[in-house]
């Protein structure tokens, strides 16, 4: 897939708050010629304060302790090690959403709490698939609020893709059923379904998703193919608790982390990768359609560490 011009700028620009915070936290720590235990402790604390999570911070500390730093200790040398550790953590989980379902369509359910960036992410995903020449359809399965349905319709119109929707308070499962039928009949490759994000009521959410699964299963036993959880990076550690809960309640198959541009807490992406062995499909670094891409672990690690080569 061709890379959108400027993606690297968006990525590095988007993650600049995170990399600046990391830099600030490290400033002054790396002035000594030797890394003693106290300095290592301070660096580990700085990494935890940068939201990378205790496990990542400990593994970077271990790496630093094992280095000899023959050319003297510089902040850049430390950042290089942080970068390669982050890349090694992101590598196994970075996994683009592939459209390979047969029979078509591939059904992607998108879940996430209100305000997480779910609707915008659906539009960005649709844009990404359209760029790859796939036929895309949207389904407004989050019938809880009229505004959510309206928002998705506006995106569908802007993108020029069909959308199946129903009234506010309507039955999500029947909307999804209609959407799959129509998508199948019209040769759509990928159906992206907006679903409810009511974490407040787990039983209700679980029932609703179970019902969608049952109804889908009648048309295509393999559907839904993907259940993608959208997370707002600005919520920091709270994003991690959401993964914990949604993983159980909604059988999430992969993650998308958005709003990495709006926060100095982008390290939470790394914490999520380390803590949960779950595919991370893409990241969002802004509000426009081009601001969401599958990511290159090396590049994201460099952007978080603040090293642009």
Ligand X SMILES: Nc1nc2c(ncn2[C@@H]2O[C@H](COP(=O)(O)OP(=O)(O)OP(=O)(O)O)[C@@H](O)[C@H]2O)c(=O)[nH]1
Q: Contact between 266 and ligand X (CB under 6 A)? A: no
Total of residues contacting ligand X (CB under 6 A)? 19
Q: How far is the CB of 173 from ligand X (least distance, A)?
A: 19
| Residue from the set 189, 291, 296, 299 that interacts with ligand X by CB under 6 A | 291
For residue 59, say whether it is annotated as part of any ligand binding site: no
Dig out the tokens for 271 from the structure: 């914490």
Is residue 116 within the footprint of ligand X (CB under 6 A)?
Answer: yes
Helices marked H in 33-97: 37-49, 54-66, 75-90
Q: Is 50 exposed, middle or buried (0-12, 13-18, 19+ CB in 10 A)?
A: buried
The whole-angstrom distance between residue 153's C-alpha and the CA centroid of its chain comes to: 23
- Which of 244, 260, 256 has its CA nearest to residue 281? 256
User: Is 165 among the residues that bind ligand X (CB under 6 A)?
Assistant: no
Between 291 and 299, name the residue whose CB sits nearer to ligand X. 291
Q: Which pair of tokens denotes residue 142?
A: 């989050």
Query: Is 266 among the annotated ligand-binding positions?
Result: no
Q: What is the dihedral of CA 99, 101, 104, 105, to 10 degrees?
A: -60
State yes or no: residue 127 binds ligand X (CB under 6 A): no
Listed ranges 1-9, 17-25, 162-170, 283-291: which one lies at the site for ligand X (CB under 6 A)? 283-291
- Comparing CB distances to ligand X, the nearer of 114 and 174 is 114
Closest to ligand X by CB, 150 vs 162, is 150
Q: Which helix (H) or strand (E) holds 85?
A: helix 75-90
Distance CA 29, CA 24 (A): 10
List the binding residues for GTP: 112-119, 194-198, 258-261
Q: Give the footprint of ligand X on this chain (CB under 6 A).
A: 112, 114-120, 148, 151, 258-259, 261-262, 284-287, 291
């Amino acid at each position: 897939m061709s890379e959108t011009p400027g993606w690297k700028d968006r990525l590095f620009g988007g993650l600049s708050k995170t990399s600046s915070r990391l830099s600030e936290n490290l400033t002054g720590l790396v002035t000594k010629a030797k890394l003693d235990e106290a300095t290592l402790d301070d660096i580990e604390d700085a990494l935890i304060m940068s939201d990378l999570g205790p496990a990542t911070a400990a593994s970077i500390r271990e790496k630093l302790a094992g280095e000899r730093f023959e050319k003297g200790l510089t902040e850049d040398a430390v950042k290089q090690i942080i970068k390669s550790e982050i890349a090694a953590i992101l590598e196994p989980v970075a996994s683009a959403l592939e459209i390979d379902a047969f029979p078509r369509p591939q059904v992607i359910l998108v879940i996430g709490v209100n305000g997480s960036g779910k609707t915008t992410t659906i539009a960005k995903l649709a844009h990404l698939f359209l760029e790859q020449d796939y036929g895309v359809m949207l389904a407004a399965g989050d019938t809880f609020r009229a505004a959510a349905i309206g928002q998705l319709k506006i995106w569908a119109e802007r993108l020029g893709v069909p959308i199946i929707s129903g009234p506010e308070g309507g039955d999500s499962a029947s909307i999804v059923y209609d959407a799959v039928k129509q998508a199948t009949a019209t040769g759509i490759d990928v159906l992206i379904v907006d679903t409810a994000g009511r974490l407040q009521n787990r039983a209700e959410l679980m029932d609703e998703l179970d019902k969608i699964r049952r109804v889908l299963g009648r048309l295509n036993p393999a559907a839904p193919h993907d259940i993608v959880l959208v997370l707002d990076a600005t919520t920091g550690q709270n994003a991690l608790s959401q993964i914990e809960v949604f993983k159980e309640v909604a059988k999430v198959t992969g993650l998308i982390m958005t709003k990495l541009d709006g926060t100095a807490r982008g390290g939470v992406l790394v914490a999520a990768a380390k803590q949960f062995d779950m595919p991370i499909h893409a990241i969002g670094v802004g509000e426009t359609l081009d601001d969401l891409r599958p990511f290159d672990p090396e590049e994201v690690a460099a952007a978080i560490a603040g090293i642009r080569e």
